Amino acid sequence: MPSLDIVSKVDAQTLDNTINSAKREIGNRYDFKGTNSDVELDKKSFLITITTDNEMSLDQIEKVLIGQFVKNKLDSDYLDFGKERYAAGNMIKKDVKVNQGIDRETAKKIVKSIKEAKFKAQASIMDDQIRVQSKKIDILQDVIAHCRQGDFGIPLQFINFK
Spatial neighbors of 159 by CB under 8 A, at least 6 apart, are: 4, 5, 7
- Domain range annotation of the chain: 3-8+101-159, 12-98
Task: Let me know if domain 12-98 sits in CATH 3.30.70.990.
Answer: yes
Its CATH architecture, for the domain 3-8+101-159, is: 2-Layer Sandwich (3.30)
Residue 42 is predicted with a pLDDT of 93
Distant-in-sequence contacts of 39-45, Cβ < 8 A, 24+ apart:
39/65, 41/15, 41/16, 43/12, 43/16
Equal fold, 3-8+101-159 vs 12-98: yes
For residue 46, give the DSSP letter: T
Each of the 162 residues of the chain gets a pLDDT tens digit; together they read 899 999 999 999 999 999 999 999 999 999 888 888 899 999 999 999 999 988 889 999 999 999 999 999 998 889 988 877 777 678 888 999 999 899 899 999 999 999 999 999 999 999 889 999 999 999 999 999 999 998 888 899 999 888
pTM: 0.82
Beta-ladder partners of 126: 129
Evaluate the CA torsion angle 133, 134, 135, 139 in order and state its sign. negative
